Amino acid sequence: MTWDRTSVRTLGVDPAALWDVLADVENWPRWDPDVARVVLHGPAATGSTGFLYPSGRFRGGVHGKIAEDFTFTSWRPSHGLALCQPVPLGRMDLSLSVAAVPGGAELTQRIVLDTPLRAVMVRIIGADLVANFGRKCAALTRLAAAKTG
């Protein structure tokens, strides 16, 4: 019932600049093609909540009507964040972490879908989150470089 995927890439940017872009949650649509809009219900911190509108007419429309708020299950400034998004009969856990490595910053994205509807949820959202990781990294690199350039 669980689908778990981790993607890792080294980006040639300052880790602090990369974190600054990731921590600006309401601007995720600038770098994440899977996100159309994010609304936070207060400052980002462990335990705080928000609502994420996925991109795509069908996916975004359905999610906007039936989904619940996500909750940050972890918020570690300069290091990473994790959120839990309820999905039908289960949950999606998404984590993004930043680590300093020679040549820049290592970005790790982990997605876990835990639901008996795993196959459906992978098709609707999970597979795209993994497939678009390279596009996300390219946009994050551009935005983080602009912060230090």
Q: What is the pLDDT of residues 77-131, one digit of tens each?
A: 999 999 999 987 778 899 999 999 999 999 999 988 887 665 666 565 655 666 7
The domain locations on the chain are 2-148
- CATH number for the segment(s) 2-148: 3.30.530.20
What does pTM read for this prediction? 0.89
Mutual angle of helices 15-23 and 133-148, in 10-degree steps:
110
| Res 90: pLDDT | 79
| Res 76: pLDDT | 98
